[in-house]
Amino acid sequence: MQLEKETETRQEAERCRLLAQRIAEEAAPASAAVYGAENETLQKALHRAGVRADAWTVAAKEQPELLIVEDPAFEELPSVLSEKVLLVCTDSANLADWAEKLAQRGYYRDMSWRSRGRAQQSALFCKVQPGELAMVRGYEQEMDILRDRMVRAERTCSEEAALIERLRSDLSLSRSHEKQLEQTLNAAIEEKANRLGLRITVCHVLRYTNFFGTLKEIVDSGELGRIVAIKHSENIGNYHMAHSFVRGNWRNDRFSSPIIMQKSCHDLDILLWLTGSHCTKVSAFGGLSYFRAENAPAGSAERCCDCPVRDACRFNAYRVYTPLLGQWPADVVCLEQTEAALDKALREGPYGRCVFRCDNNVCDHMSMILEFENGVTAAFSLTAQTNAVHRNIHIMCENGEIEADDGQRQILVTKFTASPAETFSTRVIHIRTGSGGHGGGDDGIMEDFSRSLRERKTESRSSITRSVESHLMACALEQSRLTGKTVDMAQFRESLMKS
């Protein structure tokens, strides 16, 4: 927790430094005042950038040229304002509320000032009305930016899940309280949404990919008969594991969640979707085998920056992140994507730590067996010990089999023959990956959600009614792994209701 607070403090200081530098260069005010800030970080950053800045007050003898309002949702619009007002926050809805109030006071949006992403939403308003052409051009450019963000939206589900889990950790919820909260929230949300006719979509994006969509079409066509058994593997990839689940946000289930929930609720959802049935029993085995202190190379250090053997280590943070500046996963390590900023982050932040000496405790491999109401059984493997990040699945049906790998973007469909003497044929389907993240799933889920709003449908392909079960399965699998016992899903649900 202390490490997280230190990281947040450093990130806030860096955010203020970049904002102050931008204000000094683009707005160039002679004087400025900060309104609504919790501390003096931005004020000090403005001073260092050469802008005279103080905390805002109505009683000031001379109003500053620029008023900077941080997190306007928590502040009231002052009776006295500067000639220019800059709104800064992390929620665009807050900007909209204040923009309306400023417009009523005779202020106009200065479209030459651009907001720069979700991490720092901002908008500049002034008393001088811009020309019509400037306003039209500015608004069209804003729309282009919004369209681009929609196309490139990524990691939505992971970010929201991480936020929920961090809040739970901060509140020091016990395991029993976590389960009770999960059960209560799901039941309340589902009942309320259905009663009011609202639409809630869970971001199980794999259902919206061409890859799994094609598999579903083949299974539902009946050409191979009913499903008998499934073998499914999620191959995390050793570098992805090291970044996200050893050094990163989801490394420890005390302030995140078990890896089966965080990484594989999508896969459990896909198994439910393909089988078209409910899960009845689960059993799981696994643990943390490799990313442990006893496996650290001889002579290695706590951090890569101090490690004398880092050149021989594939987890050397400099070797991992430096070639990927401006891309994932380097763009997660620091806000400013420069070698200097990266070096500072690796020296001070969590991503520069030795992967064998972190505070991680989530599994790096799990093997699971699942049974479904319709008699289908599934063997599911989750492992970090792979080079590539991909999923592969083998669906065995009554009259044929399907073998597929999303990394190769290929599906093989084979119908059974009577004997080895007969020639069999395999149909090869090459999958076109859609644009956007998660193999096109991010764009697909947004299109489906927008369509449900337009057509006023209350059900989507990944509505909360359909998506809750995979989360319950993840909890049950973790319980099975910890206790060494097979978990009956009906009894598991009943125990949650009683807790």
Helix axes 339-348, 2-22, angle to 10 degrees: 160
Q: Is 223 helix (H, G, I), strand (E, B) or coil?
A: coil
Return the pLDDT at 94: 64
Q: Is 89 helix (H, G, I), strand (E, B) or coil?
A: strand
Structure tokens at 132: 């019509």
Q: State residue 246 phi and psi, 5-degree precision.
A: -120, -50
Structure tokens at 356: 């064998």
Return the pLDDT at 175: 41
Contact (CB, 8 A) for 261 and 471 = yes
Return the pLDDT at 207: 83
Return the pLDDT at 171: 46
The Cα 175–Cα 313 span in angstroms is 37
E strand or H helix at 41: helix 41-48
pLDDT in tens, 341-374: 999 999 999 999 999 999 999 999 999 999 999 9
Beta strands 31-35 and 52-55: pairing type?
Answer: parallel
Return the pLDDT at 104: 87
The Cα 195–Cα 238 span in angstroms is 45
Which residues share a beta bridge with 366?
A: 286, 382
Sign of the CA dihedral 431, 433, 438, 442? negative
With b for 16 or more beta-carbon neighbours within 10 A and e for fewer, the 410-434 pattern comes to: ebebeeeeeeeeeeeeeeeeebeeb
Instruction: Provide block-wise average pLDDT over 10 residues at a time, the chain (499 residues).
Output: 73 86 88 85 89 79 85 75 85 71 86 67 83 65 61 54 56 44 54 61 76 94 97 96 95 91 92 95 97 95 96 96 94 93 95 96 97 97 94 96 93 93 90 68 66 64 71 94 95 82
The CA angle 474-351-241, to the nearest 5 degrees, is 35
DSSP conformation letters of 358-421: SS--S-SEEEEEEEETTS-EEEEEEES--SS-EEEEEEEESSEEEEEETTTTEEEEEE--SSTT
Return the pLDDT at 190: 58
For residue 258, say if its preceding peptide bond is cis, omega within 30 degrees of 0.
no
In the sheet that holds 52-55, the strands lie side by side as 52-55, 31-35, 66-70, 84-89, 121-126, 108-109
Contact (CB, 8 A) for 377 and 305 = no
The CA angle 397-399-405, to the nearest 5 degrees, is 50
Place of tokens 């009943």: 494
Contact (CB, 8 A) for 252 and 361 = yes
**Best CA proximity match to 13, nearest among 53, 43, 34:** 43
Helix axes 2-22, 41-48, angle to 10 degrees: 40
